[in-house]
Amino acid sequence: MPALLELICPAGSLPALKAAVDNGADGVYLGLKDNTNARNFAGLNFDAKALADGIRYAHNKGVKVLMALNTYPQPDTLSRWHQAVDIAATSGLDAIILADPGLMAYARKVHPNLRLHLSVQGSATSYEAVNFYRERFGIQRAVLPRVLSLPQVENVVNNTDVEIELFGFGGLCVMVEGRCLLSSYACGDSPNTFGACSPGHAVRWQQTPKGMETRLNGVLIDRYADDEKAGYPTLCKGRFDVQGETYYALEEPTSLNSMEMLPEMARLGIAAIKIEGRQRSPAYVAQVTQVWRAAIDAVKKDQAAFKPNPAWMAQLNKVSEGSMSTLGAYYRPWK
Amino acid sequence: MNLLNFPKPLARFVSTLPSWPASRAFVAAGNLVAWPSLRDLDWSHVAGRRFRVQVSDLGLKLYFSVNANGFRALHNGLADVTFTATAQDFARLALRLEDPDTLFFNRRLLIEGDTDLGLMVKNMLDAVELETAAAGMPVGMGRVVMKLRHLALK
Ligand code: SF4
């Protein structure tokens, strides 16, 4: 039976992995402790021991483990990425999530049995792109960027055999992911190369008489009054002076929450729903996994009657950036 | 459930305490209760860095550093990184009831100074299993901690 609405949850640590598994995830995704994945934050992620423990814990409970290897190898350190693929192949995990075609070629050649997923960082938005990765590298699943409307997703699904995974909840990265250079522009490091947008070394928060200021490499991104909710220190969520007016020029601090669209996603045969947030703590993973498990179970039971429970939505808004959420691009009346 | 809701007069009293004895008391408690489960972490990137924990509702400022032997109290002064929150929120963080990013979005947690250092410590602590930590605590304490968490989750 093809996969349908598998719940794929983030883990930045072993306790987070256990929280995901214990609260009903079908799969957990994680990364190694270096810039081979796009959540390269100090102290986060898995070393060899945590990885082995995590895989054992998840597999014992029938939960899959996926490894994100979704940054782009740099010429002088290419061997690190190859090594990471080798570790993944020999550790017994269930799939790796890749963005770089060179790395896919390597994985395909050296570990032909390793299951490959196309990362959102690969930025494939059309069925032609998805099918290309299938033909050349045999990818079995693609994670679509959060810039497509649901009809556009449907168009991809109808024209490919590749399983499609969509983001269900979490931080929004709007700039056709994998192609955004804003972080690089401000501090020289970007998700694709360094493994983090707005890496910690470039971020400064400071309480000032005018409010809390967020700076990225000295550039003032936002200043929050005491009663204002804050967002991540990324340039896309900053307030900027545009012709004398200061406002959120790109997007507001908010999280994606596509729960309302679950019945539609079930109808389209979406293979998996991804929850964002490997940088977050076990408490978040537990709370969000629990809510989404309940929602997906409810949809599978009765698509037509499904309505997001207000208590679920409140719980999700509580942990959201800016304490609010949006359907993002999934729903938009214009094309 | 409300954890650590200090009555106002007590809060006023605590806020008059000087930092140095408070830091020493905090460090002594930390070494006794938390250190056994933190000892095996790699503190090499953190050694010698100066931390300040500001408990905003109590007006309490704690200064300390961490090295391979445990926590060490510091006299007031400059800190490399400062964490500010209420006693209640610090307690909820310690019991894994709350996610730091959630508190940050809600303006209930502030990290000032060296952000990377702050994130590193947060992530290192996240990687410690609460059950293991509780098991390493002196007699009975671990059970109290797990019980508190359990009650609060209800
Ligand atoms: S700046 Fe915003 S859109 Fe760009 S990579 Fe960072 S989070 Fe994504």
* Residues of A contacting chain B (CB within 8 angstroms): 12-16, 18, 41-44, 50, 199-201, 203-207, 212, 224, 226, 228-231, 253, 279-284, 287, 318-323
Is the pLDDT at B84 greater than 80? The verdict is yes
Helices (H) and strands (E) in chain A, counts: 10, 15
Average pLDDT over residues B93-122: 92
Ligand 1 centroid to residue A236 C-alpha, Å? 6
Taking the domains of chain A in order of start, what are their residue ranges?
6-172+254-326, 182-248
Ligand 1 centroid to residue B121 C-alpha, Å? 24
d(CA A245, CA A247): 6
DSSP label at A74? P
Q: Is A192 in the pocket of ligand 1 (CB under 6 A)?
A: no
What does each C-alpha distance from A96 to A71, A100, A278, B53, B99 come to in angstroms?
A: 12, 12, 15, 40, 27
Average pLDDT over residues A265-285: 96
User: CATH assignment of B8-153, given 3.30.930.10, 3.90.1150.10, 3.30.1050.10, 3.40.50.300?
Assistant: 3.30.1050.10
d(CA A134, CA B144): 54
CB B125 within 8 A of CB A44: no
Hey, what are A118's tokens? 């196309």
* Burial track A221-233 (b if 16+ CB lie within 10 A, e otherwise): bbbbeeeebbbbb
**Tokens 């960082």 sit on residue:** A121
CB A199 within 8 A of CB A193: no
pLDDT digits (tens, 9 = 90+) for A47-84: 999 999 999 999 999 999 999 999 999 889 999 999 99
CB-CB under 8 Å, A42 with B102: no
Compute chain B's Rg from CA coordinates: 15
Structurally, at CATH architecture level, domain A6-172+254-326 sits in Alpha-Beta Barrel (3.20)
pLDDT digits (tens, 9 = 90+) for B59-79: 899 999 999 899 999 987 889
Selection from A55, A2, A69 nearest residue A27 by Cα:
A55
d(CA A74, CA A194): 9
Ligand 1 centroid to residue A197 C-alpha, Å? 6
Confidence of residue B12 (pLDDT cuts 50, 70, 90): low
What does each C-alpha distance from B36 to A74, A193, B32, B46, B135 come to in angstroms?
A: 40, 38, 8, 17, 9
Q: Which of A234, A252, A276 to mutate to test the pocket of ligand 1 (most atoms within 8 A of CB)?
A: A234
Residue A60 contacts by C-beta under 8 Å, 6 or more apart in sequence?
A: none
Q: Is A238 in the pocket of ligand 1 (CB under 6 A)?
A: no
* 3-state SS, residue B90: helix
Amino acid at A270: I
Classify residue B131 as exposed, middle or buried by CB count within 10 Å of its CB (0-12, 13-18, 19+). Answer: middle
d(CA B106, CA A318): 9
Confidence of residue A178 (pLDDT cuts 50, 70, 90): confident
Q: Which residues of B touch A11 (CB under 8 A)?
A: none
CB-CB under 8 Å, A282 with B104: no
Confidence of residue B2 (pLDDT cuts 50, 70, 90): low
Q: Which residues of B touch A280 (CB under 8 A)?
A: 99, 101
- Lowest mean pLDDT across A78-92, A181-195, A214-228, A272-286: A181-195
Residue B137 contacts by C-beta under 8 Å, 6 or more apart in sequence?
A: B33, B34, B36, B37, B145
Confidence of residue A280 (pLDDT cuts 50, 70, 90): very high
CB-CB under 8 Å, B105 with A231: yes
Residue A111 contacts by C-beta under 8 Å, 6 or more apart in sequence?
A: A85, A86, A89
Q: Which of A167, A174, A181, A321 to mutate to test the pocket of ligand 1 (most atoms within 8 A of CB)?
A: A174
**Tokens 């400062």 sit on residue:** B82
ipTM for the predicted complex:
0.88
Higher pLDDT, A66 or A236: A66
d(CA A286, CA B96): 10
Q: Which residues of A touch B118 (CB under 8 A)?
A: 200
Using a pLDDT cut of 90, give the percent of chain B over it.
39
C-beta atoms surrounding A259 within 10 Å: 23
**Tokens 């719940």 sit on residue:** A7
Amino acid at B99: D
* Element housing A70 (H / E): none
- Lowest mean pLDDT across A146-155, B60-69, B128-137: B128-137
